[in-house]
Chain A
Amino acid sequence: MTTAQQIADAVRAGERSASEVLEEHLAVIDEREGDVHAFNLVMRDEARAAAVAVDAGDRTGALAGVPVALKDNLCTRGIPTTCSSRILEGWRPPYDATVVARLAAAGAVFVGKTNLDEFAMGSSTENSAFGPTRNPHDLDRVPGGSSGGSAAAVAAGFAPLALGSDTGGSIRQPAALCGVVGLKPTYGLVSRYGLVAFASSLDQIGPFAATVADAALLLEVIAGHDPLDSTSLDRPLPPLVSGLGDGVEGLRVGVLTELVHAEGIAPDVRRRVEAAAEALADAGAKVDEASVPAASFGLSAYYLIAPAEASSNLARYDGVRYGLRVDAENTAEMNAATRTAGFGPEVKRRIMLGTYALSAGYYDAYYGKAQQVRTLIIRDFAAAYDSFDVLLCPTSPTTAFRLGDKTADPMSMYLNDVCTIPSNLAGDPAISVPFGAGDDGLPVGVQLLGPALSEGTLLRTAAVLEGALR
């Protein structure tokens, strides 16, 4: 397998052409995409034109000639952006997301738009209006979600890099289930401009890659202040790639009790977390038990805050300006008919839940209370980071489950995010890195959490785990 770093180095050195690299990846897509269904759209023509342009240009970009897959909730100028929803079918954004523009400027070649749970709401990519994505390791299993298409694209070798978005675990959980690296950055590190919003205070764009170094490379390109996003941090990020080999000697690692022993964590997953703790200790880290008591309430708070914001963010899909319109007698009925036909059941469930949580008379008991829990989670994490540099826990409670296993019971699906949600509520970064296999032979990811802007520490810790497996 060729890494993104190797491709970029070869293209910059003139040893390989971007077009040659692209054709290799398109060949893999031709071979396996029919089974995996990672993409809503393979951008063959656009990608070929972009590769030709890279080859004809100065080839100096950090990602010169590197194929990248984009989650289909990132706006791409003139290219359909569906969020895997009927309601946006046919809509072509008149602008590029900031991350898309930054990648293009770095010489990346976009191979396609990847499948997701509709509007990023789900943990299996089964909530897509265009059919599920399958796990490249076992086609009967889900790839996780909501960024299942991006995770599967990297795992299947369709592209060495992909972008996803993570609101409650939507990068890390599919990364774990597909055996790739996935990172959710600090809130505000990567611009959200052009990311179709699910829950604005939680959404972050982040990288998928087959290796820790490639994830660092991609994050360096997309991170940084954007005047178009008011929540974007105006602080320089220390270089990530150059510190990757610095090791974990003396690093204080806390094994996060509440999440390691949370309800539903499978024994084989827990054993891999314990093995990761040992590997880090072997590498010189000081490993101890850590506690973040309020993390246990993360799931409950999340399923009020995220739907509340979603109910507002998704109001604009009303049939008036773009996307689907189902005509009716008057405007209100047209709005209702359009939304009834355009949204899938999970999206409707969350809009109703969020509308309820914000309603007069219920706000204090639900949304207000959830915000208080969020404050407690932030406080408890901050306290833990007084004693630890990094926290360790599972990413997903289990390895990849079978398609259809959890679609009948939303609550069992929601429980997939129990370990990933707390970082979103805290606004802190977290990474999932593959660390061996479960009893079923499928990949297991372990998760490393850190305080705001600790991406460098998380990446070099993940690099140690990656090295320990070899």
Chain B
Amino acid sequence: MSLDDWQLVVGLEVHAELATNTKIFCGCANSFGDEPNTNVCPVCLGLPGSLPVLNRSAVEFAARLGMALECTVQPSVFHRKNYFYPDMPKDYQVSQYDLPINADGTLELPDGSVVGIERAHLEEDTGKTTHMGGGGRIHDAAYSLVDYNRAGVPLVEIVSRPDIRTPEQAQAYATELRAILAATGVSDAKMEEGSMRVDANVSMHKPGEPYGTRCEIKNLNSVRSLGRAIRYEMERQVQLLESGERIVQETRHWDEDAGRTRPGRSKEQAEDYRYFQEPDLVPVAPDDEWLASIRAAMPMLPAARRTRLAAQTGGDVDVALVVERGLDDLVLEAIAAGGDPGRLLVHASNNLSAGAGELSARPFAELSKLEATGALTATQAKTVLAELVTAGGDPAAIAATRGFEAMGDDALAAAVDAAIAADPEAWEKFKAGDRKVTGFFVGLVMKTTKGKADGKAVTALLDARAQS
């Protein structure tokens, strides 16, 4: 079998929960992790006689995403998608069908490739079923419990065109889309909490021939799983195709532990959803003025933010991560306040998580300056930074309280010389060019100075001694 003879074709369907305060058709709180069945009312429980009323914020959030994805934001209509499922209160899902709010967009990835967006439409989420007994699997469960807190949470379903050609590109698409959802405030886009869910349509064909039959891979709970599942599916499909078999169009579930996909529903068993226009809602026709105000309030998107940050910091792979964590504004402000760009970027990509707690730009800048001038070592700076995140304050004062005085050059030189003297055998190796023992000497100096030494300065001194 040779994958080289085959071309992968992937289209992604991403569901993202909108970060609105309330649900899409009622006033219940849109909140993750609450006590089951506490954020419910007659409407989201689908009680007889109840009627939906569209949440204006949900339309606004969807339109904002559509604009971020360069879609045409257009008048739209809701349809009912009919099928029976216990966690769906009305046994139909209110969704959009032939007239979605957003159509025909694009998403440009960091590598410059462009993936087409077919549509990004609004719909309601279902409840969540937990199967009790029998190891949590539906077939041998003793009974099931349903939590309707999630029922009626607004979703956008973003459908890409089948433009993706490698597993890495699929991962980059999911990552970039997640960054856009977060940056626009449309969704918190947490795959681990299910507020962003990715399904992958995967097929293989030989270049120049028509596209192959696709399988839809579900249950992908991380960007990593997405890549693994596509790679598995490529091999599975090519193996079948090269042994002369046909691919069955079906839904397959990714099993993270087993590292494989398993068959689900095939096309022959597929539901007929009997879509028809939802008679309880009226068509959505956002007026131009409102759309213009949404466009005017559009925050800067990740791609532009990456370019902006790279321009200030000299460009680095860390830039994407810093923007993804939403720390680029903080870094840029700290640079403007005189901070050291390199040190700031290192901290933002290695030592901070999204949010950055109590840390503000000015102390962050001060910290990087202390570090750049050698007043604090990298290790000390990291400790001070952690305290700035939890409690805020003045970096110099924190360093003083902790006894992080800058180590004098003489003291450092003495410590290095002591380390060299302690192991002449290792020192001979170092002098002979064996750089593997560098870490040994640095560690020794750190130990004797109780971490006050700057690792880079120690290495520089070792090099100087070796050459003299």
Which A residues contact B (CB, under 8 angstroms)? Answer: 73-75, 81, 83, 88, 91, 93-95, 97, 192-197, 199-201, 227-231, 308-309, 311-312, 315-316, 318, 320-322, 331-332, 335, 355, 358-360, 363, 367
Contact = CB atoms under 8 A, between A and B. Distances in A.
B49 interface: yes
Most chain B Cβ neighbours within 10 Å, of A73, A312, A322: A312
Contact of A93 (B48, B144, B280): B48
A315 B84 contact: yes
A332 B51 contact: no
Contacts of A83: 48
Given A321-B45, A332-B84, A335-B84, A312 B276 contact: yes
Contacts of B146: 320
Given A315-B90, A318-B84, A318-B86, A230 B48 contact: no
B89 interface: yes
Contact of B53 (A196, A227, A320, A360): A227
Contact of B274 (A81, A95, A201, A358): A358
Contact of B86 (A74, A81, A88, A320): A320
Interface of B: 42, 45-54, 80, 82, 84, 86, 89-92, 144, 146, 272, 274-276, 279-282
B280 A230 contact: yes
B47 A193 contact: no
B contact face: mostly helix, strand, loop, or mixed: loop
B146 to A, nearest CB: 7
B82 A316 contact: no
Contacts of B274: 311-312, 355, 358-360, 363
A359 B276 CA distance: 10
A185 to B, nearest CB: 17
B42 A192 contact: no
A64 B16 CA distance: 51
Contacts of B144: 331
A316 B276 contact: no
B279 A201 contact: yes
B84 A196 contact: no
Given A93-B49, A95-B42, A358-B274, A316 B89 contact: yes
Contacts of A73: 49
Interface centre among A94, A195, A315, A367 (most CB of B within 10 A): A315
Nearest to A194: B49
B49 A195 contact: yes
B396 to A, nearest CB: 58
Contact of B47 (A94, A228, A308): A94
B82 A231 contact: no
Contact of B51 (A228, A321, A355): A228
Most buried by A among B46, B48, B84, B86: B48
A229 B53 CA distance: 7
A116 to B, nearest CB: 14
A194 B48 CA distance: 7
| A-B interface, 9 closest residue pairs, ranked by CB to CB distance from nearest | A315-B91, A201-B279, A358-B274, A200-B279, A196-B48, A194-B49, A75-B49, A196-B49, A360-B272
9 contacts: A81-B49, A93-B42, A94-B42, A195-B49, A228-B51, A229-B53, A230-B54, A230-B282, A231-B282
Nearest to A331: B86
A84 to B, nearest CB: 13
Contact of B82 (A93, A228, A358): A358
A200 B84 CA distance: 20
A164 to B, nearest CB: 15
B41 to A, nearest CB: 8
A94 B276 CA distance: 29
A362 B221 CA distance: 38
Nearest to B282: A230
A342 to B, nearest CB: 13
B48 A88 contact: yes
A363 B82 CA distance: 14
B65 to A, nearest CB: 23
Contacts of A75: 48-49
B270 to A, nearest CB: 10
Contact of A230 (B46, B47, B82, B281): B281
A190 to B, nearest CB: 13
Given A312-B80, A312-B92, A231 B276 contact: no
Contacts of B82: 311-312, 315, 358
